[in-house]
Structure 1
Amino acid sequence: MAFKSKSVKRFSVRNFLATILHAFMSSPTDLPGVFTQGDTRTPVGDWYSVLMTSELSSQCDLERMVFGKCTKDVQHEFILLHFRHPVQRHAVAVLVLDRTSRVECTENNGGSFRSVGQASVLSPSVSQVPAHDTISTTFNSPSALESYLTQRYRSYRFLSNLDFPASARPSAMQVSVLLCVLSKHSPTYRLWQYQCYWYAHTVWETLKTLFDGCQETTLIDGRSQFWGQDIPKAESVEEVCKQYHVEWALFENVVEERRERKEEEERWRRVEEERKQREEAERRLEEERKQREEAERRVEEERRQREEERRQKDEAAREHEAEINRMRERVAELERRAV
């Protein structure tokens, strides 16, 4: 946190809370692969798989690209991708994209690991090896990004900006499909064709071609150059655009199939839920019917008991009356005999 003055006499609770709130607001966690906590470096194929786990990846827009170049050694080139979160619109993630060869990570004679810019452009051992296309994330802050770039590339500068209009911004998912197309198109690292210069150039020009209305700003000349000399590279933009359209159509078919399957599963879930609710309702109705019948049976039983009790009382009353009548008759009989 930077202050205008070196001495701060008063502690501001408001500023303190605002700082904490900003830290939380700037770090969404619902879009892995783009808004990821910490430094990560992922092959573009794996990045595609990560993005497939979140529906937000098709809504997360690429607002800007920045063309970067190392200023020492082989003057490696890379691209920064600025993505804006589709829901938390204040949040922007900056990802680093580049191509290297596998030998870039091997140890040198001194036993230490070489940085990207230290790989020898003249080494025949890296003329045709598997390409290493990766996309990297850092902590979501300018200082973390600068620290990452300095550690990875040492000395570098930015050559160009490419801003996408709000009406034609590629999503993170579209970018990942394009990067997979590039890896399939040129899976090997070839110094005089499919190296970092070709990769950065082709990503840049293909996205500019696919999404109209971009605003390109050149800061410093020097793209695809090594110490001022142009580096030959394959012209692949048109072919890559064609391959992208094919792959994106296949991707949309997959997404549509997943959507239909999900809708079908949801429909069956609703049908099953309705069936369970219907069975539960029928069970409750049956239970209520049984309870009602049981109540009616108890009422009928009580009625019969009351009738039986009344019948017995009536029977007892009749017997009592008959007994009285018999006693009266005997008394009358005795009186007649006495006379």
Structure 2
Amino acid sequence: MRERRVTVVGYEGAELLDIACVTSTLEMANGLGAAPPYRVRLAGPGGRPITCGSGLTLHVQETLERVAGPLDTLIVSGGIGHEDAAGDRLLVAHVRRLARESRRVASVCTGAGILAAAGLLDGRRATTHWRWARDMAVRHPEVAVDPAPIFIRDGNVATSAGVTSALDLTLAFIEEDHGTELARRVSRYLVTYLQRPGNQAQMSMFTAAPPPEDALVKRVVDRIAGDLAGDLATAALAAGAGVSERHLTRLFLKHLGRTPGRFVRRARTEAAAHLLASTSLPVAVVAARCGFGTAETLRQAFVDQYGIPPSRYRSTQATHPPRAV
């Protein structure tokens, strides 16, 4: 193989970062010795320049309709124009055609909606930007949409979450194609994580949605966030709020989409993740501070949420010598 042909599909209203995270990372790999190298080309409908969501104009290198396989990798970008692109039958047909001629198919952010429109995600587990996950699940019930991970691999099809998660997915491709050492060197030059776990949550539960509209739920959430090591059993939370456990659970499901118990477990796990990445505290101490009875209980919660144990999370997330607190 002389080169790995990679076609990135753009369109009017595509997100510049969705494109650049892929193209710049692969070109960086080339500069650092990828062999065979990647031959990266941006393709667009009609070969016309595309105006990105940021207002900047990109000149494509290939006309989408004229691209022919075999390709190593086909990557569809996302962006504010993704709905129009997914509704463009000609564009979708060419994505479907090229997917059949590609070893590997991927999407960035809302580009997953275009893959779904092409039928490429039918029966598969997939992700997209958290903001658009519910909409995609409604439009494409044949796709198992999971809004949590930053990227998902299902067979030869990969979908990534919002915007810069494309960088994580591209580094994973480089590691798959050329090994860990080259991926590590690329990540150093990019000043980013080598391996942010693919099933790491896209964003914190405390920032993923606006504060609960219900005043009682907000008070309970504030109590949870302010005393993670305390008694946060549903019975204790309900008693503190002056309502029954059943009523509190109903309110949490309505406003937060999860039971009080699940909310508490995730809040504690996220707090533990922050301490693991930013301090040198022993895992047992982190567990105690965040309300887990034992280090093993913390480990189980971590594996459930992130797919890796706390020690592995710390090794991939700590970007500088951790501090003791």
**TM-score normalised by length of structure 2:** 0.19
Kindly indicate whether structure 1 or structure 2 has the higher relative contact order, using CA contacts under 8 Å at least 6 residues apart. 1
**TM-score normalised by length of structure 1:** 0.18
If each structure's strand is expressed as a fraction of its own residues, which one has the higher value? Answer: 1
Larger radius of gyration: 1
